[in-house]
């Protein structure tokens, strides 16, 4: 007779014995002590790294094209502001120290293992003088770089350079630079140069050329002022050729043309011969 075997029920897993409370407390204390010791070692190691003589900075390598500064000048101004060794030096503070040197526009500082700093320096490339005619810096002469940024440096460094002067409300130097770059090639085509480009508080532009020649450019966007000026320069040659005299004053602030003053020529009548021009302007008239 066949026997039927009932399947065995597996024994439940044994429940691990719970450690006594004092043992658990002792284990926790030991773990805490070990963690504290490891943290102390890390802190001590970091402290040692920040003070170990082997990691003192041995040299600073300066890269970049230097035309206004010399290495001794950079060292004299920046090195006293540097503190720490290879690991502890604040690179952002080091960057600010180099950027505080006159003529330095931008500096990038990085570490080079095991004891060197490398500094990439970009100098300002000056293009013009700047004087604010409104604001807290009114009348104070500064410099404008090729990015339209205003910066301070020793003006004696540029006294032999024929730099144009920009004046206008504070914060408008970049706008003046953009317009000057747009207009100067057109005037250069006539053998003239904008020596002073000024913007009034109401936004009207004036260009002063050599030998006292003044052109009132008026208001508008850069494109509008440039178009008006270029149209004037294309047509003014007709009048100067007719009278064989150069112009000394032009007012472009007219919808249908411009007013003109020629050297040695009266301007009471209409400026005939130039389509779209208006009667002449008395010498000495100024923009508002």
What are the average pLDDT values for consecutive 10-residue runs of the chain, which has 288 residues? 57 64 69 67 58 77 92 88 90 95 96 93 97 84 97 94 96 97 95 96 95 96 96 92 92 91 67 40 34
* DSSP assignment letter at 138: B
Query: Cβ(108)–Cβ(93) under 8 Å?
Result: no
Instruction: Please tell me the distance from the alpha carbon of residue 215 to that of residue 182, in angstroms, as a whole number.
Output: 15
What pLDDT does residue 12 have? 61
Query: Cβ(196)–Cβ(189) under 8 Å?
Result: no
What pLDDT does residue 288 have? 30
Query: Cβ(78)–Cβ(100) under 8 Å?
Result: yes
Biggest alpha carbon–alpha carbon distance for the chain:
145
| 126-262 is a CATH 2.60.40.180 domain | no
Instruction: Please tell me the distance from the alpha carbon of residue 125 to that of residue 107, in angstroms, as a whole number.
Output: 15
What pLDDT does residue 239 have? 85
- Sequence ranges of the chain with CATH classification 3.10.20.310: 54-123
CA 179 and chain centroid, separation:
18
- Residues whose CB falls within 8 Å of the CB of residue 86, separated by 6 or more in sequence, listed in order: 55, 56, 57, 111, 113, 114, 115, 116
Instruction: Please tell me the distance from the alpha carbon of residue 181 to that of residue 142, in angstroms, as a whole number.
Output: 19
Distances (CA, A) of 223 to 180, 217, 236: 12, 12, 20
The size of the chain, in residues, is 288
151-184 CB burial, b ≥16 within 10 A, e <16: bebeeeeeeeeebbbbbbbeebbebbbebbebbb
- Sequence ranges of the chain with CATH classification 3.40.50.11690: 126-262
Instruction: Please tell me the distance from the alpha carbon of residue 220 to that of residue 116, in angstroms, as a whole number.
Output: 53
What pLDDT does residue 55 have? 77
- Residues whose CB falls within 8 Å of the CB of residue 208, separated by 6 or more in sequence, listed in order: 194, 195, 196, 197, 198, 214, 215
What pLDDT does residue 75 have? 86
Sign, CA torsion 235/237/242/245: positive
What pLDDT does residue 264 have? 79
pTM value is 0.74
Sign, CA torsion 208/210/214/216: negative
What pLDDT does residue 136 have? 73
CATH topology of domain 54-123: Ubiquitin-like (UB roll) (3.10.20)
């Amino acid at each position: 007779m066949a026997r039927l075997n009932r399947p065995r029920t597996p024994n439940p897993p044994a429940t691990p014995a719970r450690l006594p409370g004092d043992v658990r407390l002792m284990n926790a204390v030991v773990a805490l002590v070990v963690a504290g010791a490891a943290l102390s070692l890390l802190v001590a190691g970091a402290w040692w790294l920040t003070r170990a003589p082997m990691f003192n900075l041995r040299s600073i390598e300066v890269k970049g094209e230097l035309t206004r500064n010399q290495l001794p000048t950079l060292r004299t101004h920046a090195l006293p502001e540097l503190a720490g060794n290879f690991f502890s030096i604040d690179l952002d503070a080091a960057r600010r120290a180099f950027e505080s040197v006159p003529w330095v526009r931008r500096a990038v500082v990085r570490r080079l293992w095991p004891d060197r700093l490398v500094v990439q320096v970009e100098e300002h490339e000056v293009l013009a003088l700047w004087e604010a005619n409104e604001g807290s810096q009114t009348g104070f002469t500064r410099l404008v770089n090729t990015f339209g940024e205003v910066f301070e440096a020793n003006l004696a460094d540029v006294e032999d350079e024929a730099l144009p002067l920009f004046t206008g409300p504070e914060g408008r130097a970049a706008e003046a630079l953009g317009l000057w770059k747009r207009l100067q090639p057109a005037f250069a085509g006539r053998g003239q140069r904008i020596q002073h480009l000024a913007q009034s508080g109401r936004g009207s532009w004036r260009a002063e050329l050599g030998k006292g020649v003044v052109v009132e450019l008026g208001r508008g966007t850069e494109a509008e002022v440039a178009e008006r000026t270029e149209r004037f320069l294309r047509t003014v040659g007709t009048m100067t050729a007719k009278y064989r005299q150069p112009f000394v004053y032009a007012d472009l602030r007219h919808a249908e043309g411009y007013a003109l003053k020629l050297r040695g020529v009266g301007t009471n009548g209409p400026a005939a011969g130039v389509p779209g021009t208006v009667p002449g302007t008395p010498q000495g008239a100024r923009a508002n």
